[in-house]
Amino acid sequence: MSVTPQQSPRLAQQDHWRAMRRETPFHPRLSALDFRHDWYVWAGCKAPLSLWDEELEYFAIRSQAGLFDISPMIKYRIEGPDAEACCERVFVRNVARLRPGRVHYTAWCDDEGHVLDDGTLFRLAETRFRLCCQERHLPWLLDSAIGFDVTVVDETEAVAGLALQGPTACAILKDAGFAGIERLKPFDLAEFPHEGGAVTVSRTGFTGDLGYELFVEAADALSLWDRLWEAGARRGIRAIGYTALNRARIEAGFIVANADFIAAEHAIRADRVRMPDEIGLGWLVDEAKPHFNGRRAILDARRRGTLKHILVGLEIEGNVPAEHALVYHARKTEVGLVSAAIWSPMAKRNIAIATLSRPYGDTRNDDLWVEIYAMREGQYMKLMKRATVVPRPFVKLDRRTATPPADC
């Protein structure tokens, strides 16, 4: 077989391995503000755990405004005359009720009703959606699109994203010239002009606070950052890393795929998969909407009562975080595991997200305990602490929903 070398765009990308971690479009700004060199890998990108001090970064979210680069988030554009019908087939939540200019949180399942991922679905126009999520799903979405007049495109690298979260977020955007931003209600989205192009702003976030997410073409990323940074100087804007965001998201009671539950396509062990009702997402499932993947299995499990697990919020006595602690009933029967836990600086409580085996966490919530192994100077301090099932979010802030927000 003869070899006929051909120049192609594919060949031009051959050297990608020389930079194993992609730097996001905001990287020049992040690295200029980074003093800790405390990076982690998010979906193949270099992303900061913290830039200066995680405590200060957390309090920026709660008292001023934290600026977080969400560019690594996986983003798919689903577009075409049948986009709504296709999304209706994929997602458990009713898509017809999602009007253009709105966003909703949703989840999608395989045919056995096991959750593939959760994410936010943006209805940018009547026939154009953007899905933001943690894991990659292109084959699943392309297969689901068969028979629909719709295209599915990965726009993860083409679109840059920023989350501006905190009490002064609205005021910063207003100062930066986003006229009318204060009229956005939670889960609204709107386009604003930027550098001859446009930036899509939604009133969404992962913090349970007042906050916005901004999406822009990668080429316009730096000018958008500068625009916010300049306007935010007087209102305490601070670039933050994931450690601070993670605290805020636990307080808000949000879950993370492959941390608080195992996404079905990643589960090597067959018993690790979860139905929406087993990870606290049962409320998303619309039984009455047109058929969607996994519907029959979910309804069967509900009817037969075969759901094995439940995801709950726990409040634990004391102040020692119970990360990855075992949960017991009556101090001796193992009934579950904590997947995320912190001492909540806002609630001043010891909080946790845990998965329990039903009926514990469901109908039997008395007498729950967590066993905390706290490593202190070369020794485990073993603590058995009482746990109470409490509703999520652990921290509920009126400013998250107030429209218009304060200062605006």
Partner 1 sequence: MKRWDAIIIGAGHNGLVNACYLQRAGLDVLVLEKNDWVGGAAVSRSLTPGFIYSNCSYVCSLFRPEIMRDLDLPRHGLQVIAYEGGAVLTRDGDALANYRDHDAHRREFARFSARDAEAYDRYSRDVTRQCRFIQPLLMRTAPDPTSLKPRDLGELLYLGKKFAGLGAAEMAQTARFWTMSISDYLDEYFETDVIKAYFALSGIIGTALGPMSPGTAYILLHHYMGEVDGSVGAWGYARGGMGAVTQALASSFQASGGTIRTDAEVDRVLVRAGKAEGVVLSGGEEVRAGMVVSNADVKRTFLTLVEERELPEPFLRRVRNFKIRGSSGKVNIALDSMPDFPALPKDSPCLRGDLHFTDSVERMERGYDDWKAGRWSADPFLDVVIPTTLDPTMTSPGKHFMSCFVQYCPPKVEGRDWTDADRDAFGETVISQIADYSPGFRERIVHMEVRTPRELEAEVGLTEGNIFQGELTFDQLLFNRPVPGYAQYRSPIGGLYMCGSSTHPGGGVMGAPGRNAAAEILRDLKRGTPHMSPAHDVI
Q: Is 158 in the site for partner 1 (CB under 8 A)?
A: no
Is position 10 an interface residue for partner 1 (rule: CB under 8 A)? yes
**Of the candidates 34, 82, 112, 315, which one interacts with partner 1 according to CB under 8 A?**
112
> Between residues 112 and 195, which has the closer beta carbon with respect to partner 1?
112
List binders of partner 1 among 323-362 (CB under 8 A).
none
**Quick check: 391 binds partner 1 (CB under 8 A)?**
no
Which residue's CB is nearer to partner 1, number 153 or number 198? Answer: 153
Residues linked to residue 40 through DSSP beta bridges, in sequence order: 47
> C-beta of 76: minimal distance to partner 1 in Å?
10
| Interface with partner 1, residue 146, by CB under 8 A | no
Which distant-in-sequence residues (6+ apart) come within 8 Å of 253 by Cβ? Answer: 208, 313, 353, 392, 393, 394
Contact flag: residue 363 with partner 1 (CB under 8 A):
no
Question: Cα(first)–Cα(last) distance of the chain, in Å?
Answer: 69
Contact between 406 and partner 1 by CB under 8 A: the answer reads no
Stretch that binds partner 1, among 30-38, 96-104, 130-138, 317-325 (CB under 8 A): 130-138
Q: Find, among 354, 296, 237, 362, the residue nearest to 112 by Cα.
A: 296
Task: Judge contact between 304 and 375, C-beta under 8 A.
Answer: no
Q: Does 6 bind partner 1 (CB under 8 A)?
A: yes
User: If you search the block for the tokens 């006929």, which residue do you land on?
Assistant: 4
d(CA 408, CA 406): 5
Q: Is 14 in the site for partner 1 (CB under 8 A)?
A: yes
Q: Is 155 in the site for partner 1 (CB under 8 A)?
A: no
Q: Which stretch binds partner 1 (CB under 8 A): 135-143, 236-244, 246-254, 301-309?
A: 135-143
Binding site, annotated residues for substrate? 213
271 vs 398, beta carbon nearer partner 1? 271
Minimum CB distance to partner 1, residue 102 (Å): 27
Nearest to 109 by CA among 336, 260, 268, 286: 286
- If binding is defined by CB under 8 A, does position 1 make contact with partner 1? yes
41 binds partner 1 (CB under 8 A): yes
CA distance linking residue 24 with residue 63, whole number of Å: 27
Region of 96-104, 201-209, 264-272, 313-321 interacting with partner 1 (CB under 8 A): 264-272
Q: How far is CA 100 from the centre of its chain?
A: 21
- Please, what is the minimum distance in Å from the beta carbon of residue 116 to partner 1? 10
The number of helices, as runs of H, and strands, as runs of E, in the chain is 9, 19
Q: Strand 159-165 to strand 211-217: parallel, antiparallel, or no bridges (unpaired)?
A: antiparallel
381 burial class (0-12, 13-18, 19+ CB within 10 angstroms)?
exposed
- The phi, psi pair for 298, rounded to 5°, reads -65, -45
Give the footprint of partner 1 on this chain (CB under 8 A). Answer: 1-6, 8, 10-11, 13-17, 20-22, 41, 43-44, 112, 136-139, 142, 154, 265-268, 270
